[in-house]
Amino acid sequence: MSVTRQTFDQHMVPNYQPAEIIPVRGQGSRWWDQAGREYVDLAGGIAVTSLGHAHPALVDALTHQAQQLWHLSNVMTNEPALRLARLLTTHTFADRVFFCNSGAEANEAALKLARRYGNLRAPGKHRIIACVNSFHGRTLFTVTVGGQPKYTHGFEPLPPQIDHVPYNDLPALEAAMGPDVCAFIVEPIQGEGGVMPAAPGYLEAAAALCRQHQALLIFDEVQTGNGRTGGLYAYQQAGVVPDVLTTAKGMGGGFPIGAMLTTEALAATLSVGTHGSTYGGNPLGCAVAEAVLTEVLSEALMQNVADRHQQLVAGLEALGSRFGLWTGVRGQGLLLGAPLVAAWQGKAGQLAAAALRHGVWVLVAGPDVLRFAPALNITAADVDEGLQRLGTACAAVLGDTA
């Protein structure tokens, strides 16, 4: 029985507004819809399909594991989870890993750890500081921490003892700190908030403030991690080591998996029975994530990220100069944003829709920024083709408004 976009309207909860087209097949950085039309993928499922569609190493890992074990529950451990934990701790600051299914779950675990850490240290040490315009997930706890009213309106009352400061505003962070703070959670690059990088020195100063007030520094690397910014994790390029790191999205290359990484001392805060996840650390997800990280850790792939970064930035800047829709490009690695000029602010969705009509999938980061998060192994030819189609879309949009 065939399904259409109308099927969505008839049978699914209306909390999403998907495009009219329905993709059915993908290969590398291209995918095809029900009509057989081809699209260049510069979105990567919002920085998720880190190795593109149907990558052979991921297909092999999933197929092999699917013929062995699917699920056991955490009453048992399993070999893929143990191998993945060892891989993560070998290549990061962390000593311990908690596996889950998504970025929201990873952040939920990090925030619960921070609250428990604070409460064990001193009565009333449970306040969390986060940044305005950040994004940490869609659970009630994490959406409250995110500091974007559009995601919390109508869900009140919100969890208490969470304060927000402007991103990159060090004096505001310093003023908000105090002995009752248990954690400061921050994205090294705000993704949903407009692909906004941390200012030079901001993360280092935040780490010093956390040490001064005995608060945990939590890096949300759900979007910046797993090779997205040109290294395994962005903290390694920033030169600041957090107490807790959360990761998901590209970790599974499209298979749902997330993780919270921390030190041995802090991991002891979550003793037996204090937290859990039914599917967290399942063999299927861990086997695929191990294959993803093995690829990401290769020098060749990270070199491709650096090369395609330069190519994409140059191409976007050229389009910006040609059409006058945006000026400059910001971000790191293959997480890039093109902020729209004043006359086009609020119209990022319109531009993204036009791009899709012309065969290239791009993202938005709020109403004023086009966001690009293609596969880390995207080819030069695919970048060129995507930029060409984006240019055609820009010309069409300007023609429609001329």
Confidence check: pLDDT of 231 > 80: yes
Confidence check: pLDDT of 42 > 90: yes
CA distance 262 to 245: 6
Mean pLDDT of 384-395: 98
135 assigned to active site? yes
Q: Quick one: pLDDT at residue 4?
A: 87
Mean pLDDT of the chain: 96
Mean pLDDT of 221-243: 97
Confidence check: pLDDT of 401 > 70: no
Mean pLDDT of 222-235: 98
Catalytic-labelled residue, pool 219, 243, 249, 372: 249
> Degrees (nearest 5) of the Cα angle 131, 333, 335?
50
For the chain, where do the domains classified as CATH 3.40.640.10 start and end?
Answer: 57-296
Mean pLDDT of 65-75: 95
For the chain, where do the domains classified as CATH 3.90.1150.10 start and end?
Answer: 5-55+299-401
Catalytic-labelled residue, pool 41, 220, 243, 368: 220
Q: In what order do the strands lie in the sheet with 369-372?
A: 330-332, 335-339, 369-372, 363-364
Which class in CATH covers the domain with range 5-55+299-401?
A: alpha beta
Continuous segment of H or E residues that includes residue 5: helix 5-11
Mean pLDDT of 138-155: 86
CA distance 222 to 106: 8
pLDDT tens profile 164-178: 999 999 999 999 999
Q: Is 151 exposed, middle or buried (0-12, 13-18, 19+ CB in 10 A)?
A: middle
pLDDT class for 29, splitting at 50, 70, 90?
A: very high
220 assigned to active site? yes
Q: Quick one: pLDDT at residue 402?
A: 47
249 with 266: CB under 8 angstroms? no
Pick the CATH number of 57-296 from 3.40.50.300, 3.40.640.10, 3.30.230.70, 3.30.1300.10: 3.40.640.10
249 assigned to active site? yes
The percent of residues in the chain predicted with pLDDT above 90, rounded, is 89
- The one-letter amino acid code at 393 reads A
109 with 93: CB under 8 angstroms? no
DSSP 156: P
Helix intervals (H) in 213-362: 234-238, 264-267, 283-296, 299-323, 348-357
Q: Which one is predicted more confidently, 80 or 2?
A: 80
- The one-letter amino acid code at 37 reads R
pLDDT class for 353, splitting at 50, 70, 90?
A: very high
Residue 298 in tokens = 């290769």
Confidence check: pLDDT of 226 > 50: yes
**What are φ and ψ of residue 123, in 5° steps?**
-60, 130
Q: Which of 194, 193, 242, 239 is nearest to 221 (CA)?
A: 242
pLDDT class for 2, splitting at 50, 70, 90?
A: confident
Q: Quick one: pLDDT at residue 222?
A: 98
Catalytic-labelled residue, pool 99, 135, 184, 219: 135
**pTM for the full model?**
0.96
pLDDT class for 140, splitting at 50, 70, 90?
A: confident
Residue 252 in tokens = 């599974």
pLDDT tens profile 296-312: 999 999 999 999 999 99
Q: Quick one: pLDDT at residue 148?
A: 86
